[in-house]
Structure 1
């Protein structure tokens, strides 16, 4: 396993982050425990979850994923001590006021509930799952500072923030002499490169680590056309996947042909590309089985030459930093 620092911090994390969103809705608890054990065996020490993960088809059972992880920690054997644990706050956990978003009261209640579900006394990386436009940064940072002082969280991260939000957050933290954000979790893959306009430049400026989610774009970059031909495609839960497949079928075929020419798996190619991108600390992988996890780890051995990177840019054009992307 390869390791790096999370953004500008001294925290050492694996270059792949284990995403747990499938635990509960798609992966049974016993299998989820095997996946986490396998992750440690492969050297992955960085796990990501969220308080809202684990909902069933009717939107109930929020928090189930954290509970699955908490019962895994309870087995001992150094499981908690060997894990850099990241979770999130923002999503609604009920229908009553202050059961979501980022008010100081909401943050306090959410962290206490996550700690109980996760069976731990602290969270290593506490991430805001979305920007809260109704809560001032003074209130958010005061609440986070209290949690750091209490030892309930160590670092703070964000998810799905725009470049402007990152600047707001960091300048507000700077005025309080607080570390502020150390990472941002964003949608980023070969098909979705919008964050190259302003988010990645902001991350580089402030020294934040990037944790790309959906690195395979719901399986589109994982050899979906070959799996269709073989009859092995697993239908995802996202209805837009088929529409995206219809739109991008030709270049996805060219992409799979490129992977075949390189004698590698399309999924490995997508992950290896992300690992070459500026500011990226660790793509978040979401395996449903230990075999899927092992397949993802193989991407670390794939080194892409400039010719391959240029070809990927031809197939999936990206962006220059703004404003040069659209103006002089």
Structure 2
């Protein structure tokens, strides 16, 4: 497994991130433990979760599954860099009482204690703000985080789904307080969705943040969805099905799959390898439901895409271009 630094920290993390959002909702606990063991055996040491994963009445279930895996021993906890998130309300009905969601100092304090209990650990390596909170000033957020760092309950703070200007605001306020600030940003970024290249990734690079892309297969759209349909396999559903109903999108995905077929490369593995080849990227989040899906993702780390193929992929999925040229009318 290839490793890199997490932004401007001293943490060494694998270049793939094990996303655990399917543990509980789609993958039972026993199978989830098998997947985590296989990931660790393969050298994948960076696990990502969130306090709301499990969803609905089962919010927190995913963290509990990870905590039970840690409790098995074998130095599992010591070998893993664990990242979780705070923002969403934990009320099962989705109607939180005041201060039971978002990024108030009170909710951050409550949420981190609850996550530590579910994860069965004494500290969280990377504590991420799941979304921006326009109601809470960064002065209050950083004051709460600084206390948690001093208490040893978290090591670093990161953001998720932040626009570029909020990354700047957050880190400028941290600098005025004399603290480290954000060390990572988790954003939507893949071949089919490249708007992060306009502001988010440049801001992250300017402030020394690692970039952790989520949805690297764009909801399955980049995972060989048309090929699977033609072979009688799992059909596209949800957003992927809606996207493929657009003839232009379907033609684009068909061109993508045809190109990779010519090179004998699986589409999902190519999408991950493309992300790994982009500047500023720490590692994409993969969310396997099965052991086979994990094995496929691991193969992408060894896959090198040649310049000609990278150029062809850019032609099929053109990015916005460098800033500020990308904003030109």
Taking structure 1 as the reference length, the TM-score comes to 0.97
CA contact (8 A) 1:87 1:125 kept: yes
Is 1:287 the counterpart of 2:288 in the alignment?
A: yes
> How far, CA to CA, are the matches of 2:271 and 2:58 in structure 1?
33
Q: How does 1:53-72 map to 2 (within 5 A)?
A: 53-55=53-55, 59-72=56-69
State the SS of the aligned residue for 1:175: helix
Structure 2 partner of 1:84: 81
Structure 1 partner of 2:203: 202
> How far, CA to CA, are the matches of 2:5 and 2:145 in structure 1?
22
Task: Report the count of equivalent residues.
Answer: 323
Unaligned 5+ segments in structure 2 are none
Structure 2 partner of 1:141: 142
> How far, CA to CA, are the matches of 2:54 and 2:191 in structure 1?
27
Q: Deviations over 1:280-300 (max 9, x none)?
A: 001000001111101100011
CA contact (8 A) 1:198 1:321 kept: no
State the SS of the aligned residue for 1:249: helix
Q: How does 1:63-142 map to 2 (within 5 A)?
A: 63-94=60-91, 95-142=96-143
Q: How does 1:1-328 map to 2 (within 5 A)?
A: 1-55=1-55, 59-94=56-91, 95-233=96-234, 236=237, 239-247=238-246, 248-327=249-328
CA contact (8 A) 1:155 1:181 kept: yes
Aligned-pair distance for 1:235? 5.1
Sort the Cα spacing of 1:261 and 1:235 in 2 relative to 1 into closer, same or farther, 3 A: closer
Alpha-carbon RMSD across the aligned residues, in angstroms, is: 1.0
> How far, CA to CA, are the matches of 2:6 and 2:290 in structure 1?
26
State the SS of the aligned residue for 2:77: coil
CA contact (8 A) 1:47 1:86 kept: yes
Unaligned 5+ segments in structure 1 are none
> How far, CA to CA, are the matches of 1:176 and 1:320 in structure 2?
35
CA contact (8 A) 1:189 1:216 kept: yes
Sort the Cα spacing of 1:24 and 1:47 in 2 relative to 1 into closer, same or farther, 3 A: same
> How far, CA to CA, are the matches of 2:212 and 2:315 in structure 1?
24
Aligned-pair distance for 1:230? 1.2
Aligned-pair distance for 1:121? 0.4
Taking structure 2 as the reference length, the TM-score comes to 0.96
